[in-house]
Structure 1
Amino acid sequence: MEHNRSRFIVGRIFDETFRVVRADPTKQRYLVRLNEYIAQISRVGNNYNQVVKAINTCLSRNMLPRQIDTLVACTRELKALSEQVLELTKRLREEWLKE
Structure 2
Amino acid sequence: MQTINKNKGGRKIKSDPKKYRHVFRLTESENQRLLALFASSGITNKASFLVSMLLDRQVKTVKVDVAALQYHATLTKLFNQFRAVGVNYNQIVKLCNQYFSEDKAKRSISILEEYTKDLSKLCYYIIKLSKEFEDKYLNTNS
TM over 0.5: yes
TM-score, with structure 1 as normaliser: 0.75
Match of 2:134 in 1: 93
1:73 paired residue number: 114
Residue 54 of structure 1 aligns with which residue?
95
Percent identity, aligned pairs only, is 26
Residue of 115, 118, 124 corresponding to 1:83: 124
What number of residue pairs does the alignment pair up? 90
**TM-superposed deviation, 1:42:** 0.8
Kindly report the root-mean-square deviation, in angstroms, between the aligned alpha carbons of the 2 structures: 2.6
Between the aligned partners of 1:97 and 1:4, the Cα distance in structure 2 is 34
Shift of 1:45: 0.8
Distance in 2, matches of 1:91 and 1:22, equals 22
Give, in angstroms, the shift of residue 89 of structure 1: 0.9
Partner of 1:33: 74
Structure with greater helix share of residues: 1
Shift of 1:24: 2.5
Q: Which stretches of structure 1, 4 residues or longer, exceed 6 Å deviation after superposition?
A: none
How far does residue 64 in structure 1 lie from its aligned partner after superposition?
Answer: 2.2
Separation in 2, partners of 1:4, 1:71: 66
Give the Cα separation in 2 of the matches to 1:42 and 1:57: 23
Q: Which has the larger radius of gyration?
A: 2
Distance 1:5 1:91 in 2: 40
Higher relative contact order (CA 8 A, sep 6+): 2
2:37 — aligned with what? none
Rounded Cα–Cα distance in structure 2 between residues aligned with 1:40 and 1:26: 21
User: Normalising to structure 2: TM-score of the pair?
Assistant: 0.54
Q: Is the alpha carbon distance of 1:76 and 1:5 closer, same or farther for their aligned partners in structure 2, counting shifts above 3 Å?
A: farther
